[in-house]
């Protein structure tokens, strides 16, 4: 049992040592690759023969890891020539810093190249969008100007019209090419001027440093953030504008409905005012006729009051005349009663319409 326990502990210790050796070998491999990369970028002519031999030699002591102190005795027994090939901690830090700078430069170059590629892709997409818009516009103009006359119930399109359209399009394209050439020449001139100014600034020592570029990038980022905020505000204002437009359209519809109702009520009021004027005229006429009838009735009653018994023949004649007059009086009285009833009916109708019109106006 004791042998088994010792053997098991040895196995665990050996596995731990193997794991530590793997880690230290991986670290040594990384350091060796870093050193090889650093040495490969050096100019051999700028180095002496000793530096070349040292740089091309092995680097046995660039160990890292927790168990690097276990080989301290073996280091002490190495010869002095082999010990001179060991890099110090300052040299390792210098090489690591240079490698980090090189890596930063490579990343910067990669970022710049990626940005250029991305800009090229964006420009290609924008150009494709512009061309798509131009193609759609040309297709719409062709359909509008030429294709509407195509094959209308067997009618063929005139070839001269198509040729004229194509010639006009070619002339328009040539004009656009001339304008773009002029614009390109102007841009080239501006580019040349800017390059001269930049060269002059570089010669005068006024070129921008890396710190200035960082500040410009920071300002650019701040401006982009402000632009994003303004775009968000613009989007919010557009949404508010859409909601306001919907509310405005709703109120416009209500205003149109109320305007139509007001116009209908105005026409109804005008018609009822005309009816009222007619009723008033008829009432005045009826009053005049009633006054005439009352005057005639009073006259007849006065005649009756002063009546004396005449002869039989004259009595008969007067009686007949009286009967006719009474019938006439009754007829006129009936007419007066009918006129009064019509007046009352029209007055009631007029009052009802006036009350309805007042309620409608109050609702508006």
Give this prediction's pTM.
0.33
d(CA 17, CA 24): 10
pLDDT of residue 247: 85
pLDDT per residue as tens, the chain (364 positions): 444 455 777 888 888 888 888 888 888 888 888 788 778 877 655 454 444 444 444 343 433 333 344 344 444 444 444 444 667 778 778 888 888 888 888 888 888 889 889 888 988 898 888 888 888 888 887 777 776 665 554 445 567 777 877 888 888 888 888 888 898 899 889 888 888 887 877 776 554 555 666 777 788 888 888 888 888 888 888 788 878 888 888 888 888 898 888 888 998 899 999 999 999 999 899 899 989 989 988 888 888 787 666 677 877 888 888 899 999 899 999 988 888 898 888 888 888 888 888 777 777 6
Maximum CA pair distance of the chain?
190
β-sheet bridge partners, residue 244: none
Could you give phi then psi for residue 152, rounded to 5 degrees?
-85, 95
Contact in structure between 44 and 52 (CB atoms under 8 Å): yes
């Amino acid at each position: 049992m004791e042998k088994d326990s010792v053997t098991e502990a040895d196995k665990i210790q050996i596995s731990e040592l193997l794991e530590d050796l793997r880690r230290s070998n991986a670290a040594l491999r990384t350091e060796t690759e870093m050193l090889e990369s650093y040495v490969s970028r050096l100019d051999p002519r700028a180095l002496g023969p000793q530096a070349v031999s040292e740089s091309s030699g092995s680097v046995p002591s660039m160990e890292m890891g927790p168990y690097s102190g276990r080989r301290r005795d073996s280091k002490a027994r190495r010869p002095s020539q082999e010990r001179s090939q060991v890099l110090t901690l300052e040299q390792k830090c210098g090489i690591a810093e240079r490698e980090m700078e090189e890596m930063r430069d490579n990343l910067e170059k990669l970022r710049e190249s990626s940005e250029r590629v991305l800009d090229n892709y964006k420009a290609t997409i924008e150009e494709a969008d512009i061309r798509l818009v131009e193609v759609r516009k040309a297709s719409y103009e062709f359909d509008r100007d030429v294709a509407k006359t195509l094959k209308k119930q067997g009618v063929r399109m005139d070839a001269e019209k198509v040729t004229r359209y194509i010639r006009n399009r070619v002339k328009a394209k040539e004009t656009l090419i001339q304008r773009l050439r002029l614009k390109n020449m102007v841009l080239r001139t501006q580019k040349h001027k800017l390059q001269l100014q930049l060269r002059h600034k570089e010669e005068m020592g006024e070129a921008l440093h890396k710190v200035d570029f960082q500040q410009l990038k920071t300002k650019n980022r701040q401006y982009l953030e402000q632009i994003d905020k303004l775009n968000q505000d613009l989007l919010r204002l557009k949404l508010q504008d859409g909601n306001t437009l919907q509310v405005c359209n709703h109120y416009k519809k209500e205003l149109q409905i109320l305007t139509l109702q007001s116009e209908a009520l105005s026409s109804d009021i005008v018609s009822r005012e005309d009816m009222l004027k007619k009723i008033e005229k008829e009432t005045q006429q009826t009053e005049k006729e009633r006054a005439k009838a009352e005057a005639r009735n009073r006259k007849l009653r006065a005649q009756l009051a002063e009546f004396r018994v005449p002869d039989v023949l004259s009595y008969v004649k007067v009686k007949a005349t009286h009967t006719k007059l009474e019938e006439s009086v009754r007829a006129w009285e009936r007419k007066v009663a009918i006129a009064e009833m019509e007046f009352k009916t029209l007055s009631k109708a007029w009052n009802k319409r006036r009350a309805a019109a007042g309620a409608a106006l109050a609702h508006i």
